[in-house]
Chain A
């Protein structure tokens, strides 16, 4: 019937890694059973592997720094940041210790550090528990950014990331946890999806694979859902043929596998829940311009949430965060949100 939920998939990913590799451990807040973590990703782990799950005090700087040291000592620590809004505390060890250590000693030093970071709003959690801080970690040499989505299997993804040798930040939008993982093929009554790229870098979601799509929307993580809602409406209302592309890796962004797809599109949208100003979407747009300048029919549209604090009240939160209506307007070319 239904595939497992994304939170169950992430939980299984941890269990399989822990069972296979004794160097893997988990550090973060409130991880121990029976609570099993704020979003239940670590459920059951401390019961099975009590010596490898460390429930740390509320100090992202301290426990991330500790994990960096463990990684340099050859361990493969996973850090859970309960709310990504507080990744700022862990910024220094990630920027100046973990990422630098890979290359500053004259030879390449593998750093097997995975920092999982819960992000995003639409849950009524308020200004300091709802943000999307991806852009603040963008563009640091040897710090790779990934984001969980409903398409890429997290069991495979986590296994790959702990072996990557570069420190990795994995963003997990909290609205995805209760969603179901999606199997390649029909997504619903209208859309179907498949992986594209030599390393399955993107999920490609569309209606009957249009030869020359009216629009391509690059939508990571949870924004794939408002993007699909907008694509559905644009198709029925205006016959706008949209292809949605969801990457697993945000940075460095794997542009090459989708260049042909982008070159055929009349319009390109890059959407994210974060806010504009040195954002991920803007960096992707810049990369697209440098490769496709002269072939684009329209400017690349970057869609973000409003530059504002995120209100707690749901109806006000919806006015701030990127919603499907904004994507729809951009798809039909009527307005582009700043």
Chain B
């Protein structure tokens, strides 16, 4: 890819007007060809292609471009041009007409408000006070994490500041640790049988169906027996059970941590769960999600896929009551009547809010999940 930048045109102009492109978007040009005409305060000048390539126009005719600004690109072929466009789509976020201050953005992140929520205010400039007004107007009102975190000031110049996305993560986990008295339980699951069955399912369904999919699917089916594991914390003493098994799944493909929600898992087949997660993995890879897929889950699952991870305490998402973690699959020796044979196992963790769940129930929940996975049968397919 070759960037087309506005050169320094003369001593007096820091900018020029791109009067007209001479080549259509997507057209192939040879090095030396005229690309565009620009106008400075003194004269009109020609922008010429420095290399052969397919043009991507990235600047509107008639607008003013700064010296050094990139106004377009040349690509060796259509595939490279298309790949660039796809990659860039992932970095474009929301409604570009809104001007949102950093304080407003922080508050939006904390309450998971989107630009579309703010767009309803009919304002183009969004300050912190606008976000507060919106939150206060909402029926549920601001929750306890509303008390603002101190704004860091006077950072040294070489300090690394968190990305906006990671700041949102930071606020969430801080609120969780501050407010939720959690306990933790870890159970070992023999997954030899399930893995064999899931491999067969994957081959038939032509989609990856692994332990995560099985755990999500099976967890949904536990809601009827364990209603107080699914839902929303109202205050220290009350809890609103969920009416459907919306299950959040943590995904991090290097573009930031996301917790998209698989909705209504009880009504989905295993394959549908797999298809949804497949789509979410792709979204996580591109770093972009539909607003609807990032709503509140009733319970969440964290996958720690690194080999040899045996123990992971998840941070319960604020307002949820528990969170599962699924660790790596590993082989271990098993004694069967004096013989040694290999089996594959995984570890399933459950962090739970001890205000609402006691150890006995947590153990029972994990035991039921373990039993379901260990007795995994072909009959789950398509159900």
Q: Give residues in A with beta carbon < 8 Å to B.
A: 1-2, 5, 7, 39-40, 123-125, 174-175, 177-178, 180, 189-190, 207-208, 235-239
* Contact among B13, B64, B102 for A236, CB-based, below 8 A: B102
B102 lies within 8 A of A178 (CB): no
Please name all residues of chain B whose beta carbon is closer than 8 Å to the beta carbon of A178 when the two chains form the complex: 12-15, 40-41
Q: What is the number of contacts between chain A and chain B, taking CB atoms within 8 Å? A: 43
Q: Known contacts being A178-B12, A208-B125, is A236 close to B17, with CB within 8 Å?
A: no
A190 lies within 8 A of B125 (CB): yes
B99 lies within 8 A of A189 (CB): yes
A175 CB to nearest chain B CB (Å): 8
Please name all residues of chain B whose beta carbon is closer than 8 Å to the beta carbon of A190 when the two chains form the complex: 99, 125
A5 lies within 8 A of B41 (CB): yes
A236 lies within 8 A of B101 (CB): yes
A239 lies within 8 A of B127 (CB): yes
Does B11 have its Cβ within 8 Å of any Cβ on chain A? Answer: yes
The distance in angstroms between the C-alpha atoms of A178 and B11, with both chains bound, is 11
- Besides A207-B125, A237-B102, 11 other CB < 8 A contacts? A2-B17, A5-B41, A7-B41, A40-B42, A124-B11, A177-B41, A178-B13, A189-B99, A236-B102, A238-B103, A239-B101
Q: What's the tally of chain B residues with a CB closer than 8 Å to chain A?
A: 19
A123 lies within 8 A of B12 (CB): yes
Residue of A with least CB distance to B19: A1
Contact residues of B between 121 and 135, Cβ < 8 Å to A: 125, 127-128
Does B227 have its Cβ within 8 Å of any Cβ on chain A? Answer: no
Q: Known contacts being A178-B13, A207-B125, A236-B102, is A1 close to B41, with CB within 8 Å?
A: no
The distance in angstroms between the C-alpha atoms of A125 and B11, with both chains bound, is 9
A50 CB to nearest chain B CB (Å): 24
The distance in angstroms between the C-alpha atoms of A190 and B102, with both chains bound, is 15
Does B62 have its Cβ within 8 Å of any Cβ on chain A? Answer: yes
Contact residues of B between 1 and 59, Cβ < 8 Å to A: 11-15, 17, 40-42
B254 CB to nearest chain A CB (Å): 27
A229 CB to nearest chain B CB (Å): 12
The distance in angstroms between the C-alpha atoms of A2 and B64, with both chains bound, is 9
Name the residue among A125, A235, A236 with the largest chain B CB count within 10 angstroms: A236
* Sample (13) of A-B pairs whose CB atoms are under 8 Å apart: A1-B62, A39-B12, A177-B12, A178-B12, A178-B14, A190-B99, A190-B125, A208-B125, A236-B99, A236-B102, A238-B102, A239-B102, A239-B127
The distance in angstroms between the C-alpha atoms of A2 and B41, with both chains bound, is 12
The distance in angstroms between the C-alpha atoms of A40 and B14, with both chains bound, is 17
A167 CB to nearest chain B CB (Å): 29
The distance in angstroms between the C-alpha atoms of A178 and B99, with both chains bound, is 28
Please name all residues of chain B whose beta carbon is closer than 8 Å to the beta carbon of A207 when the two chains form the complex: 125
The distance in angstroms between the C-alpha atoms of A314 and B267, with both chains bound, is 67
B66 CB to nearest chain A CB (Å): 12
Please name all residues of chain B whose beta carbon is closer than 8 Å to the beta carbon of A208 when the two chains form the complex: 125
The distance in angstroms between the C-alpha atoms of A235 and B104, with both chains bound, is 11
B11 lies within 8 A of A123 (CB): yes
A239 lies within 8 A of B103 (CB): yes
Please name all residues of chain B whose beta carbon is closer than 8 Å to the beta carbon of A238 when the two chains form the complex: 102-103
* Contact among B12, B40, B42, B64 for A174, CB-based, below 8 A: B12
The distance in angstroms between the C-alpha atoms of A28 and B276, with both chains bound, is 76
Please name all residues of chain A whose beta carbon is closer than 8 Å to the beta carbon of B103 when the two chains form the complex: 238-239
A240 CB to nearest chain B CB (Å): 10
A325 CB to nearest chain B CB (Å): 12
The distance in angstroms between the C-alpha atoms of A77 and B64, with both chains bound, is 36
Residue of A with least CB distance to B103: A239
Please name all residues of chain A whose beta carbon is closer than 8 Å to the beta carbon of B102 when the two chains form the complex: 236-239
Please name all residues of chain A whose beta carbon is closer than 8 Å to the beta carbon of B64 when the two chains form the complex: 2, 180
B99 CB to nearest chain A CB (Å): 6
The distance in angstroms between the C-alpha atoms of A239 and B99, with both chains bound, is 12
Contact residues of B between 211 and 270, Cβ < 8 Å to A: none
